Each structure stands twice: as C-alpha cells, then as structure tokens.
C-alpha cells in the first residue's frame, strides 16, 4: 500500500452508524464512540440528544437530526488524532525537503 493511498484512506470521512433499538428511538456512533440519540415525538418531529443526553434540537426529519448530531460530534472529517499527527508529520517532512531542494537549485550555475 502506498503512502498516498494510506493518507487518502485515513482522510476519508467515516459516516456515523445509526441503529433503531426500539421503535422511533435511534442511537448513533462513529468509530465506536457514542454520538447521541434521536427520539421521534408524537407529532412527528425528531428530538436530538447529544452524547450526554442533553437535548440539542428538534428537527422535521430524521436525516436532519442525524446530520446535526454528526456535525456536533466532530464534523465529517473522520480524522482521528493519530491520522492528523501523521498528516502533519508528512507535511513537515515534505516542506523541509522542498526547502533543501530549492536551496540546492538556487546554488546551481545558470
């Protein structure tokens, strides 16, 4: 596996997974972390609760409630801390190599 494909895979968004353990009650997780729950009300709206069971909003559709909790739980980047550090390290090395190549190229006679 090449470095580029490894970074591409690490940077790919990891969608939240939703389950319905009881009728009209949904729970979500991403990368094994609980992100919240959603309950359908008697009037057909959906109330979203964060990972600490704090209500965060009422939404007209399940999809909107799921999207809100996914964003609240850390956005859609899907990068974990290790992947972020790896990407920063690679960017630093690439920048350093570029500086040395530029310095070497500028010392060549025209």
Proportion of the chain above pLDDT 70, given as a percent: 79
The overall average pLDDT reported for the chain is: 83
Instruction: Tell me the torsion sign for CA atoms 64, 68, 73, 75.
Output: positive
pLDDT-wise least confident of 9-13, 20-24, 105-109: 9-13
The answer to whether 28 and 65 are in contact (CB under 8 A) is no
E strand or H helix at 20: strand 17-22
Query: E strand or H helix at 47, and its extent?
Result: strand 46-49
Mean pLDDT of 3-8: 57
Predicted pLDDT of residue 21: 96
Residue pair 39/27 in contact (Cβ under 8 Å)? The answer is: no
Which pTM value belongs to this model?
0.58
Question: How high is the pLDDT of residue 13?
Answer: 56
- pLDDT tens digit sequence for 40-80: 999 999 999 999 999 999 999 999 999 999 988 876 545 56
Q: What is the mean pLDDT of residues 1-29?
A: 76
């Amino acid at each position: 596996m090449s470095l580029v494909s490894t970074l591409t895979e690490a940077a790919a968004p990891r969608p939240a997974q939703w389950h319905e353990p009881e009728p009209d009650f949904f729970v979500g997780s991403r990368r094994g972390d609980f992100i919240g729950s959603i309950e359908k009300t008697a009037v057909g709206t959906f109330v979203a609760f964060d990972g600490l069971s704090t209500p965060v909003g009422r939404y007209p559709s399940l999809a909107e409630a799921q999207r809100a909790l996914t964003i609240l739980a850390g956005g859609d980047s899907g990068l974990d801390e290790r992947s972020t550090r790896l990407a920063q390290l690679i960017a630093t090395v690439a920048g350093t190599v570029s500086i040395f190549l530029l310095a070497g190229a500028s010392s060549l006679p025209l």
